Structure 1
Amino acid sequence: MRSTLLAAVFAMLGCTMLVAGTTLIAKALGSGALGQQVHPLMISQSRFLWGFIAVALFLGLRRATGRQPWRQSADTPRPHYRRHLIRTMLGYTGGGLMFAASAHLPLADANALSFTSPVATMAFAILVLGERVGPWRWAAACIAMAGAAILLRPGAGVIQPAALLALGAAVCMGIENIFIKRLATSEPFGRTMLINNAMGMGISAVIATPVLTWPESPQVWAALVGIGVVMVSAQILLLTANRLADVSFVAPFFYITLVWAAFYDIAVFGLWPDAVSITGACIVVAGGLLMTWREVRAGRRTLPGATGNALR
């Protein structure tokens, strides 16, 4: 049992490292650090294109070796394509906004703002699903949004537009999480990943057509391929962690993404988090952990925002 939990921890550490890594790659591409400034729409298109190829190869390999943990049984319902499409559009929009924000914000700030997505999930569940929300979850939401308000830095005279992009990404990912939960209860995860990335590839190819440019160096090529492969790898590690341990045990580890993001900022860009970033991030995390704790106490296995960020 202890070795299984340890394996889940290492899977989550790998997942968070890769999730933060996608924002690092997006920042390098969007800021021109690799010698060519790549449009966020092209970054999103590459994320889905190479993500689809990675998923198809992974599932094909599993099938060839006879190992099909997500095999579709005879009673598995047909794909709910409308639900898949809405989820994909939300993920595409959220990912694009996040990649755009990452090019202009410290990675720790961008990732911290994305962790307000459970608040959007909660609000959407109230308005659309009619869920009842108790005082603890309202308190957690208020705490998380207070941290986001600090990260928006209104005292600087004007709110950073890039911070608003990250907050918009959080809203999209929070609503997307509702659809992820619904799909997770009715469809095999492998099929969901394949459909999501296939739809995203088609949608992003059409939208990104006006801004597509030919990569000018091997470094840019590698980064464009890498952002899709890294994201899919993070998804697989998240699934592995959730299979090895309860979601209630796994979910809090996702906040380690902030540590990796700060490390990447320091190591790659020489950006140290200031007092405002640290304070805001800590408050957002406190709100998220409080919401997680309350969901565990309420006996809910699927936690709001536990997977949404990793599946964008």
Structure 2
Amino acid sequence: MSEEGLRAATLGLSRLAGASPTVRAMLWMLACGVLFILLNGLLRLLAQQLDPFVAGFLRYTAGVVVMIPFIWRAGLAAYRPHTLPGQVWRGALHTSGLLLWFFAVPHVPLAQITALGFTTPLFIMLGAMIFLKERMVVARWVAAVIGFAGVLVVVAPDLSGSGGVYNLILLASAPLFAASFLITKAMTRRDPAHVIVVWQSIMVALFSLPFALAHWEWPTSGQWALFLLSGALGSAGHVCLTRAFALADMSVVQPIKFLELVWAALFGFAVWGEVPGEATFIGGLIIFASTTWIARREARRR
């Protein structure tokens, strides 16, 4: 879906919710979560079929390819960043996290990947308070802690060590992704979402190229098509994420991310017939309650 289509859909929903910047940010984050769950499921499949480093490189290369028509229509000048050093630093950090993520992802179930990734919002909220000087709002931290508790309820029955060291590798990627997103938030003050997303794909593709060449194998025609789809999903998801960061404090929108565990459970049931257990329903209810509470509170406060 194009950025214009995403904007139209989100603005239509936001009118129903009062159209405040905070509500629009939450809706962008909600759309981002759905897109990223679809993307993670697709990338997990591809990383099981190809070398993970090759899969990571091709995912971001495809992200550049799918944006070429938009760049062609708007012209190169419209995609010139004001913060090139920030784009480079963000690309380096995001690539570091990505390499760890792709190395571990073929060996960890999708719902568990999603749940372990929920440590990232806590790093983001802490970093936003320290580096971006966002105000410490107790209610946001309460919502984040309750949401994370819901995640633990869901994954506790499966955290028996089956993922082994790969769980720790996934956890190690969380602070790197958090640092990347903090730089993204800072860059939204000078660059629009489409510029940030395109340059992220360019930087990650360049930084991950040496690792891909060292393990290169050619995808099939069907896999090429799936990589193009992953590029479209990833670019659309990052546009949603960047717009959410531009509209509200990062600590406002991070609790919305916990809903991704619900999407992951639904995706697993729809695609692989995985029936969520009782813990998933209980944890999902806790996550939904915390997210709904902070969303309503922030909307009233604004």
Q: Tell me which interval the TM-score lies in, with the shorter structure as reference length.
A: 0.7 to 0.9
Give 1:6's match in structure 2, choosing from 10, 13, 16.
13
Superposed counterparts of 1:112-123, under 5 Å: 112-123=115-126
**Deviation at residue 197 of structure 1 after TM alignment:** 1.5
**Deviation at residue 131 of structure 1 after TM alignment:** 5.1
TM-score when scaled to structure 1?
A: 0.71
Higher helix share: 2
Q: 2:55 & 2:160 partners in 1: Cα distance?
A: 31
Question: Percent of aligned pairs with the same residue?
Answer: 25
The question of whether the paired residues in 2 share the 8 Å contact of 1:11 and 1:237 is answered with: yes
Structure 2 unmatched runs, 5+: 1-7, 17-26
Say what the alpha-carbon RMSD is for the aligned residues: 4.0
Per-residue Cα deviation, 1:252-271 (whole angstroms, up to 9, x for no partner) = 87665444422331232232
Q: Which amino acid aligns with 1:21?
A: L
Q: 1:275 & 1:80 partners in 2: Cα distance?
A: 47
Give 1:104's match in structure 2, choosing from 81, 84, 107.
107
Which residue of 2 is the match for residue 185 of structure 1? 189
Which residue of 1 is the match for residue 62 of structure 2? 50
Give 1:27's match in structure 2, choosing from 22, 44, 53.
44
Cα 1:146–1:168 shift into 2, 3 Å: farther
Q: 1:55 & 1:63 partners in 2: Cα distance?
A: 12
The question of whether the paired residues in 1 share the 8 Å contact of 2:118 and 2:148 is answered with: no
Count of residues in Structure 1 that have an aligned counterpart in Structure 2:
281
The question of whether the paired residues in 2 share the 8 Å contact of 1:116 and 1:167 is answered with: yes
Cα 1:42–1:222 shift into 2, 3 Å: same
285-294 vs 102-111, which moves further:
285-294
Per-residue Cα deviation, 1:36-89 (whole angstroms, up to 9, x for no partner) = x2222212101111111222322212449xxx9x677xxxxx632332122222
Cα 1:92–1:295 shift into 2, 3 Å: farther
Which residue of 2 is the match for residue 86 of structure 1? 89
Q: 2:158 & 2:196 partners in 1: Cα distance?
A: 43
Q: Which amino acid aligns with 1:61?
A: R
The question of whether the paired residues in 1 share the 8 Å contact of 2:66 and 2:232 is answered with: yes
Structure 1 unmatched runs, 5+: 32-36, 73-77, 300-312
